[in-house]
Structures are given as C-alpha cells and as structure tokens.
Amino acid sequence: MSKITTNRRRFIKGAAAGAAVLAAPAVWRSSARASDVVNVWTYANFIPDDFKAEFEKETGIEVRIRLVDDQGKQFNLLAAEAPNPTADVVTVAGHRFLQFIDSELLAPMDTGRLKNWGTINPVYSESDWATINGNKWGAPILSGAEIMAYNSEEVTPEEARSWDIMFDDKYAGRTAYIIQDMMSVMILAKGYDGNMIEYMDNPAQAAAIVEEVRDFLISHKDKVRKFYDSGAEIQQMFINQDVVLAHAWNGPISKLIMDGFPVRMTIPKEGSYGFVYTLNVANNGPNSDNAYKLLDALLASSQVGAEMTKASGFISTFKGADAHLSELEKKAASFTEEELEGLRFFRAEANKMKYELLDPAVEQIKAA
C-alpha cells in the first residue's frame, strides 16, 4: 500500500487543534443558572457543531460545553460540586451508572418528557443495563468498544487478530494503551471475567487475578512506548507514526479511518469489551428544563445520530442512522460478525470491588 502523504499534514494540524481544545479550560459565566443556558459535560465531538448552532438559533438557549476525557474525573468533579452542580447534562457510560446513581449524582430520566425517545434503537434503550431500580438513567447516544488499532501499512490483519502482538518484540516501543482499560481486556484474554462479577463472593480470587495481570503488564512494560489518556493523544501518535499498534476506543480510530488514514481496527480473537455512552440529567442541575429540551432535540432525527457518529467516530444508537453514512463511514463504524462474537458488554455489579483492585494496580504499573 502506498504511503498517504497529502492527508497527514491536514491530520497533524487538525488533531493538534483538537488536543488544544481538549486541554483548554472551560469558560463559564458567573452563574450556571439562567433561563437561556444549558451546561453540558461531554466528550470532544459528541455534540455536533452544526446541531449546537441550530439548537441555539431556534431556542435561544446557549449550550455551554465543558469537555471531559475520563469517567473517573467527571465523577470526582460532579461529586465535589454536589448537591448543587454546575452541570445540567453529563455523559456517563452505562457500566458506570451505579457509581453515579449510588452517590445521588444523577436524576432518573423522565422519558415522558422526551417525545423523541422512540428514535433510540430498543436494543440500547431497553437493555437490562439501562434500567436500574425501576428507572432509566440516561439516553443512549453512542456505542463503543475497546479495539486493537493498527497501522495497515506495517501490521498485517492476521497479526492484529490476537492481543499477543502487543507484547511481541517485533513491535517493541511502538505500542500504546490506557492501563486501566487494558487490564480489563487482559483479564478477559487470560480466560477470566473482566467484569469480575464471577468473583464477588471470592475477593481473594479477584485480587489474585488482578495481581497476575498487573505482573504480566509490568513484565512487558518495555514493549510500550507510552501509556496514554485521551483519544486525541492516540490519534496524534498514529499520525506521527510513533506507534503502529494500540489498544484504543473505536471512536478516535474510526475518525482516522473516515479521513483516509492507513489505520484499521479489529476485535481480537480473545475478545474485548463494549459499552454505551448516555446523556444524563444531573441531579439538582441548575437548568433541568433546558436539559430536557436539548436531549429531545438531539433525539429528533436519525440524521442527528449520523452526525454524532461522523463527529465522534462511535456507533450511533439511533434507528436508521446508517442510512445517512457513506460506505467509508459505515466501514469505520462497524465490525464483522466474527469480531462481534468476541465482544462482551461492561457490567457494573462488581465495579466497587473491581476498581478498588484496579486503581492501585494501575499506579503500581506506572511506578514499576
């Protein structure tokens, strides 16, 4: 395959700009409460620019976006502001619901206030993870998965079909991953339950599994160029050709594919985990009425769902959204049946035990 050269300059410029936006502090007015404001905490590109501009024009409501890049950081910030958060809408992954709900940081979703609720594919809106204590807690908007990303000019599809290639001497110093996320995947790859539900009654076994995976990652730490944090960061590393292999979320990699960069993604044969991003109403948020107006507008059409996919790279949960995607965009936002057979969804039942074990293990890997 010939090298792509004309697009890389554009990629480097665009990705660098995206990283700058992600790092920039949010600008807030003196008060979060106002009749013409809705405060949204969300990931970069989750709210399409065109939709935002049209919503503000039609409603007169300013959409103030505060970018987040990590579920834990968002939880900590929301908890610090409780019981009077500055946020009206937050973005929570379905497998993290219990943490936010138990801390009373989210309000139950009143689907009766969303006339466009039916736009969401019931595979997502009516799934077992979506209802807790008899309530819905979020509007599913995008679905994602932890995937193997690889530079298709240097790594073969056959090599990328196993997580083992991440730890092969052949690509030493040219791989990257998010440590905590990679630990769940490696627990699964070693034949264990990455959700740790199987070990809720046996915490000693859970601890031993985490120690095994921690020690494995430490023993192969020399293979990793960098432990990264954000989607923009891994995009830039591929663009700069710092890495040719990475564990990543499909969204940032899909964006590279959509723009013609020679990167591909797969769900390796050992399996991986998927999740659903939801938009949620913050408990006691300052402008809840405006929050519901924004959510209902987002759900108004499948075309908005397609635009969310184009902007974020994640798979839309809206019925009919793929009809508004090009063939390349569809390719960038889908997997084969064989790949999907290995996909599990994150579940939250054992999260307290799981993250009490994973969090210190992550720090130990970094410090090793």
DSSP string, 243-307: -SEEEEEHHHHHHHHHTT-SEEEE--TT-EEEEEEEEEEBTT-TTHHHHHHHHHHHTT-HHHHHH
Q: Model confidence at 97, in pLDDT bands (50, 70, 90)? A: confident
For residue 12, the model assigns a pLDDT of 31
39 vs 99, residue with greater confidence: 39
Distances (CA, A) of 276 to 54, 199, 202, 290: 26, 24, 28, 23
DSSP state of 203: H
- In tens, the pLDDT along 201-243 reads 999 999 999 999 999 999 999 999 999 998 999 999 999 999 9
- In tens, the pLDDT along 107-121 reads 999 999 999 999 998
Q: Which pTM value belongs to this model?
A: 0.71
Predicted confidence (pLDDT) at residue 57 exceeds the cutoff of 80: yes
For residue 2, the model assigns a pLDDT of 32
Structure tokens at 126: 């009516």
Predicted confidence (pLDDT) at residue 19 exceeds the cutoff of 90: no
Buried b (16+ CB within 10 A) or exposed e, 264-283: bbbbbebbbbbbbbbbbbbb
Predicted confidence (pLDDT) at residue 68 exceeds the cutoff of 70: yes
Which residues, other chains included, contact 156 with Cβ-Cβ below 8 Å and sequence gap of 6+? Answer: none
Q: Is 2 exposed, middle or buried (0-12, 13-18, 19+ CB in 10 A)?
A: exposed
Residue appearing with tokens 């009490």: 356
Predicted confidence (pLDDT) at residue 265 exceeds the cutoff of 70: yes
What mean pLDDT comes out for the span 239-252?
Answer: 95
Residue appearing with tokens 């999907």: 340
Predicted confidence (pLDDT) at residue 125 exceeds the cutoff of 70: yes
Q: Is 215 exposed, middle or buried (0-12, 13-18, 19+ CB in 10 A)?
A: middle
- In tens, the pLDDT along 269-289 reads 999 998 899 999 999 999 999
Alpha-carbon 261 to chain mean position: 21
3-state secondary structure of 67: strand
What distance in Å separates the CA atoms of residue 22 and residue 67, rounded to the nearest whole number? Answer: 6
Predicted confidence (pLDDT) at residue 9 exceeds the cutoff of 70: no
Q: Model confidence at 154, in pLDDT bands (50, 70, 90)? A: very high
Residue appearing with tokens 């480097």: 12
302: left (phi over 0), alpha (psi -120 to 50) or beta: alpha
Structure tokens at 101: 């709900």
Share of the chain above pLDDT 70, in %: 91
Q: Model confidence at 343, in pLDDT bands (50, 70, 90)? A: confident
Torsion of CA 131, 132, 134, 135, to 10 degrees: -70
Predicted confidence (pLDDT) at residue 39 exceeds the cutoff of 90: yes
For residue 85, the model assigns a pLDDT of 96
What mean pLDDT comes out for the span 339-354?
Answer: 85
What distance in Å separates the CA atoms of residue 36 and residue 284, rounded to the nearest whole number? Answer: 17
What distance in Å separates the CA atoms of residue 281 and residue 290, rounded to the nearest whole number? Answer: 10
362: amino acid identity, one letter: V
For residue 32, the model assigns a pLDDT of 67
Range in 50-54, 199-203, 310-314, 362-366 with the lowest mean pLDDT:
310-314
Share of the chain above pLDDT 90, in %: 67
Structure tokens at 40: 């949204």
For residue 21, the model assigns a pLDDT of 34
Which residues, other chains included, contact 203 with Cβ-Cβ below 8 Å and sequence gap of 6+? Answer: 353
What distance in Å separates the CA atoms of residue 52 and residue 32, rounded to the nearest whole number? Answer: 18
| Mean per-residue pLDDT of the chain | 88
For residue 31, the model assigns a pLDDT of 56
Contact (CB, 8 A) for 130 and 93: no
What distance in Å separates the CA atoms of residue 43 and residue 148, rounded to the nearest whole number? Answer: 21
**Closest listed residue to residue 268, CA positions, set 166, 176, 152, 151:** 166
What mean pLDDT comes out for the span 125-133?
Answer: 82
- Taking every pair of Cα atoms in the chain, the longest distance, rounded to a whole number of angstroms, is 59
For residue 131, the model assigns a pLDDT of 85
Q: Is 343 exposed, middle or buried (0-12, 13-18, 19+ CB in 10 A)?
A: middle
Quote the radius of gyration of the chain (alpha carbons, Å): 20
Q: Is 105 exposed, middle or buried (0-12, 13-18, 19+ CB in 10 A)?
A: buried
The CATH classification number of 32-141+277-323 equals: 3.40.190.10
Q: How many helices (H) and strands (E) does the chain have?
A: 14, 13
What mean pLDDT comes out for the span 91-111?
Answer: 92
Query: In CATH, what class is 144-274+332-367?
Result: alpha beta
- In tens, the pLDDT along 288-328 reads 999 999 999 999 989 999 998 888 888 899 999 989 999 88
